[in-house]
A and B are shown apart, each in its own frame.
Chain A
Amino acid sequence: MTQPRKTNLETEMLVNVRDLAVTFATGGSTINAVNGVDLDLAPRETLCILGESGSGKSVLLRSLMRLNPARRTHVTGSIVVCGHDIQRAPERELADLRGSVVAMVFQEPLTAFDPVFTIGRQISETIMRHEGVSRGDADRRAVELLELVQVPMARQRLAMYPFELSGGLRQRAMIAMALSCRPRLLLADEPTTALDATVQIQIIVLLRRLQQELGMGLILVTHDIGVATETADRVAVMYAGRIVEQSPIAEFVANPLHPYSRGLLGATIEAAKDGNRLKTIMGAPPDLSRLPPGCAFLPRCERAVAECRSVMPSLRSPSVGRAARCVHVERE
């Protein structure tokens, strides 16, 4: 069993994506889920990809592990994760990577687990696959992992089936499973969306703590700004398959650049307190099979001008580390 090639670790970017475009062929039409995305992630960094349904954020995340259905998916651009060219890597190399160097936490743990195997078995099989240890050793490690994610009565829970656990415990178990082989990069696809509000906070805090303790890079996809503010070092806002704004979190919250970001921040309950009306972004997300040539946000933007219609604005950086696709953003 080959170990994934480990290169000069700490100085190299965990994730380096250039010009990624992902399209799906469905029925008669082509869906442009991701349209030209550049992405970087440094080791030990947390990036939150923020966006609503249909923005392409989940597709983007899955592309990092090449999890999209191969037959219907067309991918262009370069994806380099932990030194591996994901697009060109043979299936065997990818299988060695998945679950060990890069791991994923899914949105709905009830359907993401196999219903007819125990939690313990599903965690152990990952460990046995990548680290070649015996069943007994893998089970011992599984108990440690469950304790790490704060699942009470870990040993008994090992023998339980997914449907026997509550939503919060299930998601913790899934996190444990993802961490089982000490990945350098953790990908989380809306890990708290399917959970109760009270449990959401616990999971978010847990993820942040684990990320720091284990020194992993973390890319967290969400539509919830609260999650972003709680966990992210940097945030990237996605709209219609493009990144429309990138920024360190503090500056993003203090001064959002893109009109869409402003809309998102203005639409929070917090912002609507004190008797103000809940500001919503009017309109609906665009049809990904029929994208306009200009800025995709145009129909919903309060600050649209003629220039926005003709060409998609490139990313403009008013200061180091920040960028947004809007004509109103001043270049540095």
Chain B
Amino acid sequence: MSSIELHDMPQNPASSTVVAQPIAAGGYWAGVRRRLSRDPITLAGAGVLLVMLLLIILAPWIAPYDPYHGQIPLRLKPIGTPSHWLGTDELGRDMLTRLMYGGRLSWILGLTPVALALVIGGAFGIVAGFAGGWLNTLIMRVTDVFYAFPSVLLAIAISGALGPGIGNAIISLTLIFIPPIIRVAESAAVSVRNLDYVESARSSGAGSVTIVVVHVLPNVLSHIFVYATSLVGLSMILAAGLSFLGLGTKPPEAEWGLMLNTLRMSIYSAPEIAFLPGLCIFLTSVCFNLVSNGLRSAMDIRA
């Protein structure tokens, strides 16, 4: 390690001579777009996600084989087989097809809980932030109780009690993402509520609804949205995890987590095949996290 470095000038004297750029509303989003366009890592992540999205949406049209029926004699063919580029699974089904179809369910299982939690948690959080008083206390204390549970355990417990199935998995995952979103939404709403320009709008006679919709909501929503994007990666991992345990999708559906489970038996004979579904989950999760980080950096004015 080098000698102790002073990482930042305390009371930077130079800053007082730099003229501050006023940030107009339109200018802010242009600035965000500009910063994003100069961030190669975030763009790469977004690009990969886009490609994956296309592949899984277009699966029914471009996938080479049937994801549900395979030929047992062709089971566990390795990667690079001329007719099956990514090999075949333990029932002889084409891996490339299975992965593409599997992506559909995996993405649905991963994205839906976060989207639902965003809406539900966002609503509760914003209400709590603005209402204040006993309503705020009630909502936040109930949220605290759910925070007392470790997320994985709660998801599994609820799934376990409800039973396997896509719907149940989505329900249990949504429930564990609602509390953190409520917290972020409430804190964003509270800080915006106290801002000066809301005060001035109020004093100029604007009604509460107008204030909320015109001034506050856009600000708060973007904040919550960026936070939610940071949860998608984890949601994908947990959703696939539930399927891996047998609590999500059921055979013969194609889904990355489920495939990881069924291929596990074959790791001694065809390890590379078992490697693939997890790789897809990993890739998706990494890219969502990179994009979320990039969004957060781009939207941070201070940066």
Contacts and interface: CB of A to CB of B under 8 A. Distances in A.
Report if A and B touch in the complex (beta carbons < 8 A). Answer: yes
Interface of A: 24, 26, 31, 33, 53-59, 67-72, 91, 107-108, 111, 285-289
A69 B8 contact: yes
A26 B14 contact: yes
Contacts of B18: 287, 289
B252 interface: no
Interface string B1-37: 0010111111101101111000000000000000000
8 contacts: A24-B14, A53-B16, A54-B13, A58-B13, A69-B5, A70-B6, A71-B5, A108-B11
B7 A56 contact: no
Contacts of B10: 111
B6 A31 contact: no
Top-3 shortest CB links A-B: A54-B17, A69-B6, A31-B14
Question: Number of contact residues on B: which range applies?
Answer: 10 to 19
B3 A91 contact: yes
Q: Helix, strand, loop or mixed for chain B's interface?
A: loop
Contact of B14 (A54, A70, A108, A111): A54
Centre residue among B3, B9, B18 by max chain A CB count within 10 A: B9
Nearest to A91: B3
Nearest to B3: A91
B102 to A, nearest CB: 46
B186 to A, nearest CB: 28
Contacts, number: 46
Contact of B17 (A58, A67, A107, A287): A287
A3 B5 CA distance: 24
A298 to B, nearest CB: 16
A272 B73 CA distance: 101
Q: Helix, strand, loop or mixed for chain A's interface?
A: loop
A246 B114 CA distance: 67
B3 A33 contact: no
Contacts of B9: 24, 68-69, 72
Contacts of B3: 91
Given A69-B5, A69-B7, A69-B8, A286 B14 contact: no
Contacts of A54: 13-14, 16-17
A288 to B, nearest CB: 5
Contacts of A55: 13
Contacts of A287: 17-19
A107 B11 contact: yes
Contacts of B7: 69
Given A67-B6, A68-B6, A70-B5, A33 B11 contact: no
A285 B17 contact: yes
A288 B17 contact: yes
B19 A53 contact: no
A150 B8 CA distance: 34
A72 B14 CA distance: 12
Given A24-B9, A288-B17, 18 more contacts: A24-B14, A26-B14, A33-B14, A53-B16, A54-B13, A54-B14, A54-B17, A55-B13, A58-B11, A68-B9, A69-B9, A70-B5, A70-B6, A91-B3, A111-B10, A286-B17, A287-B17, A287-B19
A229 B8 CA distance: 33
Nearest to A190: B11
Contacts of A289: 17-18
A53 B17 CA distance: 8
